Structure 1
Amino acid sequence: MFENDHFFHSVSTMGRGGLTGTIWINIIALLCLCDGSTGQLSFSVSEEVDKGTVVGNLAKDLQINVQELEKRDLRVVAGNSKKYFDVNLKTGALYVCDRIDREELCPNTAKCSLNIEAILSHPMQLHRIEVQIIDINDNAPSFRENEKTLNISESSFTGERYLLPMANDADTGSNSVKSYKLSANEYFSLDVQSGGQHSESAELVLQKSLDREKQSIIRLTLTALDGGKPARSGTLKIVVQCH
């Protein structure tokens, strides 16, 4: 198994000189494991899929006869404390064995993946596996507050702007917040400016002079929509008090 006979001879000599038998065995096991490691396999699965969902087939990808899986003691080891995947020794299928919440695993990141290892014995082999977790649109946009009150003087000039809160969405990519709309009214329009992710702003723009005697309170609704299909939305109630 070892291509470098000189290295093997050196370790053997050192083992006779001072290493205990237990340490020698551990060194050999480690070298066997390293020598048997291979390239990384890659799979993908959507978050929140049902337990038992098949991600891929390790027997097929590792070119191992399914009848040898139990004999070679194929097992899946998680790199983190929670085990999300396991292997069916009858079929070689890698499957989901626990609920996967992408937002819990990878908050505020565009890419999310889990790294696991498939280990075989007799002979010892280690295969690294990366499972990409695909985001689904399971969260709706939401505002920190349900209602926003603006006190605006009736002497304000048209064109004046009033900054509005932005919505948050735990989903990423196309499932994050993509647009805003304002309920129909005769006094205000909505202007949304985007300078890239995390630098978006929304403002109410006064289009018509306010008249406190005619209408002292104006109620509006700001709606945030994400890019999912179908889209999810969240709303913010805006109360404009004229004074």
Structure 2
Amino acid sequence: MKRRVLLTFFSLFLINSAIGQISYSIPEEMPKGSLVGNIAHDLGLNTKRFVSGKAKIHTRNSLEYVELNRERGLLLVKEKIDREALCTEVTVCSLDFQIILENPIEFYTVTVQITDINDNAPTFEKSEKHFKISESASPGVKFVLERAVDHDVGINGVQKYDLKPSHNFALKLHNNPRDNKNVEMVLQKPLDRETEAEINLILTAVDGGDPQMSGTMLIIITVLDANDNAPRFTQQEYKAALHENSPIGTVVASVAASDADQGSYGKITYSITSTQANVRKIFQINEQNGEVSLIGNIDFEKNKLFEIIIRASDDGGLTDSCKLIVEVEDINDNKPEISIMSKSNVISEDAGVNTVVTVINIEDIDSGENGKVKCFITENMPFVLKMSTNNFTV
């Protein structure tokens, strides 16, 4: 008899169990206690059902941002949400959880989308940028500038750049497929070292929020004598693949540029310029030979692709840039996680076939075949597993 009572925890699928889904949208930074939504009303349930069914929230996250008021059937903000801290660079940011009720068991999937507000100004990693440019540099020569970083997304992110004064230089912007703007400074008029040995420019990045916010960087140009040729990369775009959890020191790729000048003007120095915020914490480049290696940990579940902008500079201040795209390959480094979301502590011996005893959530955050999960119970038992939706097993 004890064995039979213990095994009832594994029986699954009640015909009248309810499965539903509902979505809300709220802005970030709402105060604690703010209303997310009237979940009872929106699900068509009486608040008394929330009390009698011991309604509760189930979430995989250790930190819950939303709480349930059973008596009023309301979802409320439990902790102020900083969208940038929660979702970093992800465009669509949402909280996903389940509302579970008992007697009978019902569960509903809830998605709360967190929308962005303009609470971050564009910033440059460095307050100053120095260039050494030969007075013999021809109009049309380009110089790669650092992009500004704005942790806001969409219209609240960086929308435009401005360079002043603009007597000798103009800005050129390139939109890439990842919605980032590569910024270049292009020489418009020849420099004259005898007239002006140093030029100071202000680069301003402006977002599209209301009100607009901006950030600035000082560009200091030292005018040098003759440097006739700029470095040139052998490719404008390099590609590499890397397994997640690769050891520190792994060589990812090598880039190469050449310069037709002799002496110091032909000496090339490689560097990684500002791209994704965490790139330089994960990758480094040998400034002499262009070898890119790993200095940090990579996790496929966090970053599936890195886009690295690499600059080649000669001692005369001329530059060229290329792009290195690193695709992260998934390995099976996460085991399935099983969560018992709701269970019946007591079951009658005359309970009907297909009575739900336990609702289980099973999830593996790996991708593709590595993320597929098969569930089994002990054979020759009077219980079965039946898959529901959204990784639920009943």
Alignment TM class, shorter chain as reference = 0.7 to 0.9
CA distance in structure 2 between the aligned counterparts of 1:168 and 1:40, rounded to whole angstroms? 36
Correspondence 1:124-135 to 2 at 5 A: 124-135=105-116
1:23 aligns with 2:7: yes
In structure 1, which of residues 37, 46, 50 is the aligned counterpart of residue 27 of structure 2?
A: 46
Equivalent in 130, 142, 167 of residue 148 of structure 2? 167
1:238 to 216, 219, 223: 219
> 2:160–2:207: 8 Å Cα contact kept in structure 1?
yes
Quote the Cα distance in structure 2 between the aligned partners of 1:20 and 1:123. Answer: 21
For 2:5 and 2:71, how far apart are their aligned partners in 1? Answer: 37
Shift of 1:35: 5.3
State whether structure 2 residue 100 is matched by structure 1 residue 119. yes
Question: In 1, distance between residues paired with 2:40 and 2:29?
Answer: 25
User: What is aligned with 1:8?
Assistant: none
Partner of 1:203: 184
How much has 1:238 moved relative to structure 2?
0.2
Determine the C-alpha separation between the residues in 2 that align with 1:88 and 1:199.
Answer: 42
Helix, strand or coil at the partner of 1:40: strand
What SS class does the counterpart of residue 52 from structure 2 fall into? Answer: coil
In structure 2, the partner of 1:82 is: 63
Gaps of 5+ in 2: 225-394
The percent of aligned pairs where both chains have the same amino acid is 38
Which residue, out of 169, 193, 196, partners 1:212? 193
Q: In structure 1, what residue type is equivalent to 2:13?
A: L
Cα shift at 1:151: 0.6
Partner of residue 143, structure 1: 124
Do the aligned residues in 2 keep the contact of 1:163 with 1:203 (CA within 8 Å)? Answer: yes
Displacement of 1:159 after TM fit? 2.5
Partners of 2:16 and 2:216 lie apart in 1 by 58
Query: Is 1:229 paired with 2:210?
Result: yes
Residue range with higher mean Cα deviation, 217-226 or 133-142:
133-142
Contact 1:141 1:167 in 2 (8 A): yes
What is the rounded CA distance, in whole Å, between the counterparts of 2:82 and 2:51 in structure 1? 31
Tell me the distance in 1 between the aligned counterparts of 2:140 and 2:49.
75
Any idea what SS the aligned residue of 2:7 has?
helix
Match of 2:40 in 1: 59
Task: State whether residues 219 and 237 of structure 1, in contact with CA within 8 Å, keep that contact through their aligned partners in structure 2.
Answer: yes
Alignment deviations for residues 35-92 of structure 1 (CA, whole Å, 9 cap, x no partner): 5241211111111111111111111012222244322222222221111111222321
Amino acid in the other structure paired with 1:23:
L
For this pair of structures, how many residues does the alignment match?
A: 224
Q: Does structure 2 conserve the Cα–Cα contact (< 8 Å) formed by 1:45 and 1:131?
A: yes
Secondary structure, in 3 states, of the residue corresponding to 2:33?
coil
- 1:199 deviation in Å? 5.5
Partner secondary structure for residue 97 of structure 2 = strand
Q: Secondary structure at the match of 1:20?
A: helix
Contact 1:41–1:130, Cα closer than 8 Å, also in 2: yes
CA offset digits 1:2-50 (Å, max 9, x no partner): xxxxxxxxxxxxxx8x9531221x134x534x85241211111111111
Given that residues 129 and 220 in structure 2 are in contact (C-alpha distance below 8 angstroms), is that contact kept between their aligned partners in structure 1? yes
Stretches of 4+ moved more than 4 A in 1? none
- In structure 1, the partner of 2:135 is 154
1:109 aligns with 2:93: no
Q: CA RMSD in A?
A: 2.1
